[in-house]
Amino acid sequence: MKLQSGTLLHDLPMLRHGPKNALAHEYYGWLLVSTDDPAKGITEGRKSLEVDPLSVEAAVVLAQSNYLLRRYGEATDLSQKAKDQEPDYPLTYWVLGQVYLAQGHTEDAVAALEKGRQVGPLDWTSEVLAAAYAAVARRAEAEKILKDLDERSKSGGHVPAYHLSFAYLALNDRDRALAALEKDYEQRSPNMTYIKLDPGLDRLHNELRYRALLRKMKLE
């Protein structure tokens, strides 16, 4: 089962049935990492894998939680194990790309995200790939991705603006990065839950518009 973006835990009664429900631990842990108790969130994510050690999704969700907490070694190990188990799961490459970018391993990030685009249509992979291209001075390719996404958005297609901000930052365009976050805030995007934690947004921490978003979301 896959959760759709914006799904709430209380909308899924099957997640509330007992300590042996792997999905309950997986998504409760994800929630705790972003909103309340990161240490307990990691513990819940690990419990999910104890209950269902073959769950690629649980491993990748836990990897993303570790990335948000800047535990890059754990995030990489979990992602690599997930990749070995299911090489065509695109979310794995999306997480790896973010981890590599945060560590400055830009060529590795490009390779991971390009592979992610090959194995599955995941918009987030394209957006972070634009950031990776910009980071390795492949500006034209980064801007082409952004242009394509902009045209899709203008024609009514959904483009989650949160991850566009990574690419704008890599292109040294803080105004557009902040505008992307402000757009997702107005649209009540669940991605904004991670705005304070995400290493990809570190360069915005001293920006007044960024601090204003945190205050609006009661994150400071």
Task: Look at residue 194 and tell me if it is in a domain.
Answer: yes
Per-residue pLDDT tens digits for 165-192: 999 999 999 999 999 999 999 988 888 8
Task: Look at residue 39 and tell me if it is in a domain.
Answer: no
Task: Look at residue 141 and tell me if it is in a domain.
Answer: yes
Containing domain of residue 154, as a range? 122-220
If 0-12 CB within 10 Å is exposed, 13-18 middle and 19+ buried, where does residue 181 land? buried
Per-residue pLDDT tens digits for 32-77: 888 778 888 899 889 888 888 888 999 999 999 999 999 999 999 9
From the CB of residue 138, how many other CB atoms can be counted at a distance below 10 Å?
16
pTM: 0.86
Task: Look at residue 207 and tell me if it is in a domain.
Answer: yes
Task: Look at residue 72 and tell me if it is in a domain.
Answer: no
Per-residue pLDDT tens digits for 125-161: 888 999 999 999 999 999 999 998 888 878 877 777 8
Per-residue pLDDT tens digits for 92-105: 999 999 999 999 99
> What pLDDT does 25 receive?
83
Give dist(CA 159, CA 163) in Å, integer.
9
Task: Look at residue 41 and tell me if it is in a domain.
Answer: no
Task: Look at residue 220 and tell me if it is in a domain.
Answer: yes
Give dist(CA 150, CA 167) in Å, integer.
13
The domain tally of the chain equals 1
